[in-house]
Amino acid sequence: MKLKELLQGVEIIEATADMERNIPQVAYDSRKVEQGALFVAVSGFATDGNRFIPMAMEKGAAAVVTAVKPEQEVPYILVKSDRLALAQIGANFFGKPAEAMQIIGVTGTNGKTSVTLLLKQVLETVLGVKVGLVGTMNNMIGDVAIPSQRTTPESFELQSLFAQMRDAGCKFVVMEVSSHAIALERIGGVHFAVAAFTNLTEDHLDFHKTMDNYCDTKALLFKRCDKAVLNCDDAYFTRIRANATCPVLTTSAGCGDLTARDVQLHADGVSFTAVMQGESAQVCLPIPGRFTVYNALTVLGIAHQLGISLAGCAKALETVCGVKGRIEVVPTPDTEFTVLIDYAHTPDGLEKVLTSVRDFCKGRLIAVFGCGGDRDPIKRPIMGQIGTKLSDIAIITSDNPRTEAPMAIIADILKGITPDMGEYMVIEDRKKAIAYAMDIARKDDMIVLAGKGHETYQEINGVKHHLDEREVVAQHLTEMRN
């Protein structure tokens, strides 16, 4: 592909490179540059790609795309935004694959994974089409799972993934859209058929600094879509809505365009009546928790915006599988207590899962949780307070400490707890914490293992160690019986 074709749509300030030159490869990692490649020097947080221009040229790069005029004598293209340029170049390189499919984006602090997985199943069931998925747990092309490293891949990898989905015959792509993906132009140049907002609660303030900044970043998604679905019960709805430049469908437990009535919460799922514009449908999902109602409303809203009837979507939801790591019931045969695994790793997520479980818990609620390292430390004492107040027994342990000392993280969590909040204890080793919770559990007690969810590892000192909580529960159950 010629350089001028790769740069189609990119805002160029000036250029010295030969626009007629054929470019066989694009790279933004200088270590991966091949002969004749176009090197995109991205200004990162940990390091600046411009530092590696000499290395890229030594390895045979034909030209450099940069937002900072090179000091060296090299063929270059000076652009306004290196990150946006990388996204646009990726789209051009792979033949603008997103344009061949309908892209649906879901953003918000919590609920993105559940909504996207449920929606994928609905589209496949109702329309009989192949659907691609981009998300936290993994990426999927139809039934084929592809491991993912982050919620939204880097823009060039995202375009490559879109191309694979297009070539495999996908008609829709359902994707989680993180605030980082929006701020860092990972979705640069992508237009969405429908975008949805689930909720906004404290998270990623180490990156965004303030909740308003966090909200305004999320809101940018609704300037690049044809239709939107917004949860109007959320405190940040008005701010999100003010930034939307497309037709909006609101969802609510009480007063939106699409509402849930006669909500029934059960230990094995939820049921409610969905009502919209005089139409109604009975909805049943095999996933417990009040927030499942909100997730279902978002799915119903997106389906409606895509032309699927309320009744058709509701019928499809009856047959969906539960989402791994989201109020997932762990098999504990012949015991009188229940163990649930949930990905709740934010204050709002922890509050929602504990409140939801309390709705159907007949015995004591035992919460096992911690906080991740190298992430927003502001939320740690808040989670300590929530976890202790909303449970009967809180067991504070390690999550993914990453490069931080586990006990230092736990010390931050404990700052939010006072003696009058309830019973709590500290067990740093997560396996031992889970075992202890099972040892003290009595008839009708519910144990919530919060934070890990679908993850099957624990990252300590930058190294990922295998840790599947389902296996930990099964192993300790065997030990208890022996």
Q: What is the rounded (10 degree) CA torsion for 168, 172, 178, 184?
A: 70
Average pLDDT of span 250-265: 93
Residues 129, 58, single domain; the answer is: no
pLDDT of residue 392: 97
Give the angle 269-274-278 at the CA atoms, nearest 5°: 165
The predicted structure's pLDDT at residue 205: 60
pLDDT tens across 129-180, in order?
999 999 888 899 999 998 777 677 899 999 999 999 999 999 999 999 988 8
Same domain, 149 and 275: yes
Which pLDDT tens digit goes with each residue over 449-473? 999 998 999 999 989 999 999 999 9
Report the CATH number at residue 388: 3.90.190.20
Q: Is residue 90 part of a domain?
A: no
User: Across all residues in the chain, what is the average pLDDT?
Assistant: 93
The residue out of 30, 58, 82 marking a domain boundary is 82
Confidence at residue 271, expressed as pLDDT on a 0 to 100 scale = 95
Q: pLDDT-based confidence at 278, cuts 50/70/90?
A: confident
Nearest-CA neighbor of 358 among 320, 386, 317, 382?
Answer: 386
Range of the domain at 247: 97-317
Among 51, 82, 113, residue at a domain's last position: 82
What is the model's pLDDT at position 324?
83
Which of 109-118, 125-134, 198-207 shows the highest mean pLDDT? Answer: 125-134
* b/e sequence 425-456, b meaning 16+ C-beta within 10 Å: ebbeebbebbbbbbeebeeebbbbbbbbbbbe
Confidence of residue 396 (pLDDT cuts 50, 70, 90): very high
Residues 308 and 377 in one domain: no
Question: Where residue 65 sits, what CATH number does that domain have?
Answer: 3.40.1390.10
360 and 311 both lie in a single domain: no
Interatomic CA distance for residues 378 and 209, integer angstroms: 11
Please list, in sequence order, all residues whose beta carbon lies within 8 angstroms of the beta carbon of residue 359, skipping any fewer than 6 positions away. Answer: 265, 289, 290
Asked if 63 and 140 sit in the same domain, the reply is no
| CA–CA separation, 420 and 311 (whole Å) | 49
Return the DSSP state at 409: H
CA–CA separation, 383 and 385 (whole Å): 5
Q: Is residue 322 domain-resident? A: no
pLDDT band at residue 359, thresholds of 50, 70 and 90?
confident
Shared-domain flag, residues 220 and 345: no
Q: What is the pLDDT of residues 26-38, one digit of tens each?
A: 999 999 999 999 9
What tokens does 435 get? 């075992």
Measure the CA–CA gap between 476 and 482, rounded to whole angstroms: 10
**Both 143 and 238 in a single domain?**
yes
Taken in order 460, 464, 465, 469, is the CA torsion positive or negative? positive
Residues 46 and 136 in one domain: no
In a domain, 380, yes or no: yes
The least confident of 164-168, 354-358, 390-394 is 354-358
Mean pLDDT of 277-292: 90
Above 60 in pLDDT, residue 354?
A: yes
User: Which pLDDT value is given to residue 29?
Assistant: 92
**In this model, does residue 440 exceed pLDDT 60?**
yes
- Are the C-beta atoms of 320 and 306 separated by less than 8 Å? no
Q: Kindly state whether residues 137 and 35 are assigned to the same domain.
A: no
Flag whether 61 is in a domain: yes
31 within domain boundaries: yes
- Segment 49-74 mean pLDDT: 94
Q: How many domains does the chain have?
A: 3
Indicate the residue among 289, 317, 345 that finishes a domain: 317
In a domain, 436, yes or no: yes
Looking at residue 313, which CATH number applies to its domain? 3.40.1190.10
Q: pLDDT band at 87, cuts 50/70/90?
A: very high
Contact between 204 and 170 under an 8 Å Cβ cutoff? The reply is no
pLDDT at 482: 86
CA distance 231 to 255: 10
Q: What is the pLDDT of residue 206?
A: 61
| Lowest mean pLDDT across 109-113, 247-251, 254-258, 436-440 | 109-113
Q: What is the H or E stretch that residue 291 is in?
A: helix 290-305
Identify whether residues 305 and 364 lie together within a single domain: no
Which residue's entry shows tokens 């417990």?
A: 288
Quick one: 238 and 145 in the same domain?
A: yes
Structural domain includes residue 342: yes
416 and 472, same domain (yes or no)? yes
Strands 38-40 and 26-27: parallel
Average pLDDT score over residue span 403-426: 96
Cα→Cα distances 478→336, 449, 474, Å: 15, 19, 6
370 domain-assigned: yes
Secondary structure tally for the chain: helices H, strands E = 16, 24
